[in-house]
Amino acid sequence: MRTDINLGVNFANIKMKNPVTTASGTFGFGEEYAHYLDLSRLGALVVKGTTLHPREGNPPPRIVETPCGILNAIGLQNPGVDIVVDEILPRLQQFNMPVIVNISGDTPDDYGLVAKKLDQSYAAGIEVNVSCPNVKKGGLQFGSDPAA
């Protein structure tokens, strides 16, 4: 295998060794897959939705198989930004890759508070979730309104 090929990219001022990333919401916080995949080979890891406070998510069933794929309605289950910043992101540093955190909230102020907490963390970037249709309130309410 050739090792002299440079696949590096610079996306939104985030330097990645290649353009391969995970999609938010599909790969948890990454650690769950470390024994299946060498995470350090990824260009970046985009972790699941993170909110200001912990969320349990929707009650089961949350995943349903259909003839054409899978539908899910997890409901932004996550431990909250403080746990992500204090525990999860420091553990992800060992994989030597940028981590982009998907953020969500109930109000625009929630988004700002989560982003502020991530600003001084290991996170290389923030992905703003304004389209999650399976929560009762949040980004979809103002994400679908251009004036908001």
| Count of residues making up the chain | 148
**Catalytic residue check, 68:** no
> What 3-state class would DSSP assign to 66?
strand
Cα–Cα–Cα angle for 83, 29, 107, rounded to 5 degrees? 60
The residue from 48, 132, 135, 138 that is catalytic is 132
Strand partners for 16: 9
Q: Residue 110: name the closest of 29, 48, 23, 50 by CA.
A: 50
Q: Which residues are catalytic?
A: 132
